[in-house]
């Protein structure tokens, strides 16, 4: 229902969208709002909804393909983390340009404590801390981060590829036929 009621790009009220769903259940939306939403460079202002929705989409579609994803827990997160830091250290070679800094491909939703811990650390240090914690707890904190930190290097090409893969995951999920009868 989330796909049907919140996925379509429309200025209709939730009541009108609910009525349209009742009249034509499981229809395919004419225009999906995630594409426009994810194309923005909103940085810390990105709607948290998209990160939560993405973790659900990734878990639903791909959990069997990744180690520990079956143990993933959906938890409250409230801080947007920049993979390539906003103020990188001079020695960090895994960075993106200002143009890519605040795009969805370079961002993840984490707890405030993790965001404080990662701070402006270089990609390699953030990656190692994430992988160590995942190995110890036998579950990732974020599926988006799990995909990001599967990369050994990070930069604009990796951020662009990640963002494209996340848009594709969303598109496939939104276009999936959930008609159950």
pLDDT tens digits for range 83-101: 999 998 888 999 999 999 9
Please name the helix (run of DSSP H) or strand (run of DSSP E) that holds residue 80, with its range, or none.
Answer: strand 79-82
Q: Quote the pTM value.
A: 0.87
Residues 93 and 126: beta-carbon distance below 8 Å: no
Note down pLDDT in tens along the chain; length 181 residues. Answer: 677 666 666 777 878 878 887 888 776 666 677 788 888 899 999 889 999 999 999 999 999 999 999 999 999 999 999 999 999 888 899 999 999 999 999 999 999 999 999 988 999 999 999 999 999 999 999 999 999 999 999 999 999 999 999 999 998 888 777 666 5
Straight-line distance from the first to the last Cα atom of the chain, in angstroms, rounded to the nearest whole number:
15
* 3 Cβ neighbours under 8 A, 6+ residues apart: 29, 173, 174, 178
- How far is it, in rounded angstroms, from Cα 94 to Cα 113? 23
Q: How far is CA 175 from CA 7, 28, 112, 118, in A?
A: 10, 7, 33, 36
109-142 per-position pLDDT tens digit: 999 999 999 988 999 999 999 999 999 999 999 9
* 92 Cβ neighbours under 8 A, 6+ residues apart: 84, 85, 122, 123
* 120 Cβ neighbours under 8 A, 6+ residues apart: 85, 86, 87, 88, 89
- Residue 81 pairs in a beta bridge with 108
- Could you write out the three-class secondary structure of 92-144? CCCCCCHHHHCCHHHEEEECHHHHHHHCCCCHHHHHHHHHHHHHHHCCCCCHH
């Amino acid at each position: 229902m989330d796909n049907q009621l919140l996925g379509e790009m429309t200025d209709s009220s939730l009541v009108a969208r609910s009525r349209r769903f009742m009249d034509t259940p499981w229809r395919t939306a004419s225009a999906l709002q995630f594409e426009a939403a994810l194309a923005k460079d909103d940085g810390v202002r990105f709607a948290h909804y998209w990160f939560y929705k993405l973790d659900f989409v990734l878990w639903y579609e791909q959990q069997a393909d990744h180690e520990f994803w079956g143990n993933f827990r959906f938890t409250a997160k409230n801080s947007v983390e920049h993979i390539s830091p906003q103020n990188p250290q001079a020695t960090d070679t895994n960075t993106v340009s200002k143009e890519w800094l605040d795009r969805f491909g370079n961002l993840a939703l984490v707890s405030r404590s993790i965001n404080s811990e990662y701070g402006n650390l270089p990609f390699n240090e953030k990656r190692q801390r994430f992988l160590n914690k995942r190995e110890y707890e036998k579950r990732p904190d974020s599926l988006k981060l799990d995909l990001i930190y599967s990369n050994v290097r990070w930069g604009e090409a990796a951020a662009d590829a990640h963002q494209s893969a996340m848009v594709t995951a969303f598109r496939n999920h939104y276009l999936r036929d959930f008609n159950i009868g």
